[in-house]
Structure 1
Amino acid sequence: FDDMRERGVRLAGELPPELVYAGYSFGVLPAQKLAQTRPGARGALLFYSCLPVSGEWAFGPWPKGVPVQIHGMDKDPIFAGEGDIDAAREIVAKAEDAELFLYPGDQHYFADSSLPSYDGDATRLLTRRVLAFLNRV
Structure 2
Amino acid sequence: MAEIILLHSAQGLRPGVLGAAEALREGGHVVRTPDYYDGEVFDDLESGLRKRDTIGFEELGRRWRAIGEQARGPVVFAGFSLGGFGAQVLAATHPLARGALLYHGCAAVPEVSDRGWPVTVPMQLHYAEGDPWVNADDVRSLRTELGPIFACFIYPGNVHLFADPDLPGYSAESASLMWKRSRDFISQV
| TM-score, L = length of structure 2 | 0.65
1:134: Cα distance to partner?
1.0
1:130: Cα distance to partner?
0.6
Report which of the two structures shows the higher radius of gyration computed on alpha carbons: 2
2: CA distance, partners of 1:29 / 1:9 = 12
Q: Which has the larger share of helix? A: 2
Alpha-carbon displacement from aligned partner over 1:84-105 (angstroms, at most 9, x marks no partner): x321222122214110111111
2: CA distance, partners of 1:10 / 1:130 = 25
Matched positions, count: 131
* Aligned partner (choices 143, 151, 155) of residue 92 of structure 1: 143
Alpha-carbon displacement from aligned partner over 1:27-61 (angstroms, at most 9, x marks no partner): 1122111100111211000111111013xx24131
Q: Does 1:43 align with 2:99?
A: yes
1: CA distance, partners of 2:58 / 2:102 = 18
| Contact 2:68/2:94 (8 A) holds in 1 | no
Q: Does 1:53 align with 2:109?
A: yes
Specify the SS of the correspondent of 2:186. helix
| Contact 1:21/1:43 (8 A) holds in 2 | yes
**1:1-137 alignment to 2 at 5 Å?**
1-54=57-110, 57-60=111-114, 61-79=116-134, 83=135, 85-95=136-146, 96-137=148-189
2: CA distance, partners of 1:14 / 1:72 = 28
Gaps in structure 2 of 5+ consecutive residues: 1-56
Specify the SS of the correspondent of 2:105. coil
Amino acid at match of 1:73: A
| TM-score, L = length of structure 1 | 0.88
Seq. identity, %:
35
1:17: Cα distance to partner?
4.8
Whose relative contact order is higher, 1 or 2, with alpha carbons under 8 Å and at least 6 apart? Answer: 2
